[in-house]
Amino acid sequence: MRNVRLHLAALAVIAGLLSACTGGPDGGNPPSSTPPAQSPTSSAPSSATAPPSTATPSPDTETSVPAPPPASPSALPAGPGQGNAELAITVIPAEGQAAVNYTLVCESGVPAGESSHPTADAACAALKRNAALLNQAPRTAQACTQQYGGPEKATVTGVVDGTAVEASFARTDGCEISAWDAAKDILGGAGGAT
């Protein structure tokens, strides 16, 4: 019997709270004995505009705010690294020839199963020894020999040790040949460049 009284008392409290929140027993505004006031001069709707809504959109509401841009590539520190990488490598052996694409995924200097790189062991080891091989050197103050090493071009994009990388390689002068040769394990053996 005591439980029944407690349940009834709880229901009465809840009903009272609901009534207070909704404004009355019928869920609308509380009953009023006076009719709403109307303007004596005009029955036309008011031209005043309502204040702008300050409601916060729900998490599912789409917004027109653009997403932040991806992190721009930055220089990797020279010397030994962690050996973690997720890279897309594209090598173009010569103009007009089909591009050769590799995926290189390294974990602590060891290739992961999803790598399609032809020499993944050597590439991951090279990245662990010196990830800075993928840094792009500024060409403004650099003197380069004017020799041609071949038509090969390559691009490497992805992440090495948590740092975004985007590097381009070619063999059109001495500086570019040197950079290609330093990164040859990462670039793979495509295109005949060694």
Q: How far apart are CA 184 and CA 93, in angstroms?
A: 13
pLDDT at 75 over 60: yes
Q: DSSP labels for 27-48?
A: SSSPP-SSPPP--SS--SPP-P
State the pLDDT at residue 117.
94
The pLDDT of residue 134 is above 70: yes
Are the C-beta atoms of 8 and 2 separated by less than 8 Å? Answer: no
Cα–Cα distance measured from residue 80 to residue 125, given in angstroms and rounded to the nearest whole number:
10
Q: Of 41-45, 97-101, 160-164, give the lowest mean pLDDT range.
A: 41-45
Beginning with the edge strand found earlier in the chain, give each strand of the sheet holding 100-107 in spatial order.
110-111, 100-107, 85-92, 153-160, 163-170
Other CB atoms within 10 Å distance of the CB of residue 127: 28
Q: What is the DSSP letter of 65?
A: P
Tell me the pLDDT band of 18, cut-offs 50, 70 and 90.
low
Query: Which pTM value belongs to this model?
Result: 0.56
Is 110 buried (19+), middle (13-18) or exposed (0-12) by CB count in 10 A? Answer: middle
- Whether 28 has a pLDDT exceeding 90, the answer reads no
Which tokens in the block code for residue 58? 């729900």
Kindly list the structural domains of the chain, giving each domain's residue range(s) and its CATH number in brackets, ordered by start. Answer: 85-192 (3.30.350.10)
Amino acid letter at 36? P
Q: What angle do CA 185, 171, 187 make, to 5 degrees?
A: 20
Which residue intervals of 33-160 are DSSP H helices? 120-129
In 3D, which of 116, 109, 72 has the Cα closest to residue 90? 116
Mean pLDDT estimate for the chain: 73
| Spatial contact of 161 and 151, defined as CB atoms under 8 Å apart | no
Specify the pLDDT at position 72: 47
